[in-house]
Amino acid sequence: MNKEAEDWILLLLVLFSLYFSYYMFKTYFGNSVVEGLENNKTKVVNKLTVNSKGALESLQKTNEDIGNEILLSNPEYNDNYSKICSELIDNVNLKMIKIAVNLDPTNDAVFIKSLADLNTMNQAKSSLDDIVDYINNSETSDNKKQTN
Q: What is the model's pTM? A: 0.56
14 to 8, 17, 27: CA distances (angstroms): 10, 5, 20
Which own/partner pairs from 138-144 qualify as long-range (CB within 8 Å, at least 24 positions apart)? Answer: 138/72, 138/73, 138/78, 139/73, 140/72, 140/73, 140/74, 140/75, 140/78, 141/73, 141/74, 141/75, 142/75
- Per-residue pLDDT reduced to its tens digit, 130-141: 999 998 888 775
Mean pLDDT of 100-118: 91
In this prediction, residue 1 carries a pLDDT of 67
In this prediction, residue 115 carries a pLDDT of 93
